[in-house]
Structure 1
Amino acid sequence: MKEFVVIHDYLVSEAVVGDWEGEEEHVAENLNEIYHTLYDYAEEDIEPEILNQLLALVWEHWIGQEALAEIESEDISDWCLHVLQNREQYLEN
């Protein structure tokens, strides 16, 4: 059921990420990679509401983190798997 969630609704451009001292494009790319990875890793039959909540969590969690400018694909993968495996913890808050 994840096909009912439009990933493009979440993707960002450098214009919306704020001031990252010249790293805005890279930060936007990293955020978009997180969105895509989380979406790709989600099971096909995930409830759209749950997936939307998890995707919204990406912005809430990452936009203020300095590590966002330096995060590697392996770390993005690990974080996304962790969120999906522990979704109850993240959705309770």
Structure 2
Amino acid sequence: MKEFVVIHDFLVTEAIVGDWDGQEELVAERINEIYHTLYDLAEEDIETEVLMALLALVWDTWIGQESLPDIESEDIYDWCRHILDNREQHLYQE
């Protein structure tokens, strides 16, 4: 259940994202926007473990992407919607 996941446990700061050539604040904002968007879009009755696993994908997927500082909110929304709609593909890969 969604209410058992504390989104603030996932949020990052400039210090956590590492060196982004002076764009650390922007990168932290983008990562946190992705976390919030994914959480907000998730259905209320999503299994806690599933939501936590999907949120873990955010860091694994995005922290190494050079395009992260430039990503738009619309693209973040689209990615989050895709992850939720295709969660089986992303969570249960072998």
- Asked whether the two chains share a fold, i.e. TM above 0.5, the reply is yes
2:64 corresponds to? 64
Within 5 A, what are the aligned runs for 1:36-55?
Answer: 36-55=36-55
Kindly provide the CA deviation profile for residues 61-93 of structure 1, in whole angstroms up to 9, marking residues without a partner as x. Answer: 000001111000000000000000000010013
2:86 corresponds to? 86
- Percent identity, aligned pairs only, is 73
TM value normalised by structure 1: 0.99
**What displacement does 1:18 show?**
0.7
**What displacement does 1:47 show?**
0.1
Kindly provide the CA deviation profile for residues 15-65 of structure 1, in whole angstroms up to 9, marking residues without a partner as x. Answer: 000100000000000000000000000000000000000000000000000
1:6 corresponds to? 6
Gapped regions of structure 1 (runs ≥ 5): none
TM value normalised by structure 2: 0.98
> How many residue pairs get matched?
93
Q: Return the alpha-carbon distance in structure 1 between the equivalents of residues 89 and 68 of structure 2.
A: 22
Gapped regions of structure 2 (runs ≥ 5): none
Q: CA RMSD in A?
A: 0.5
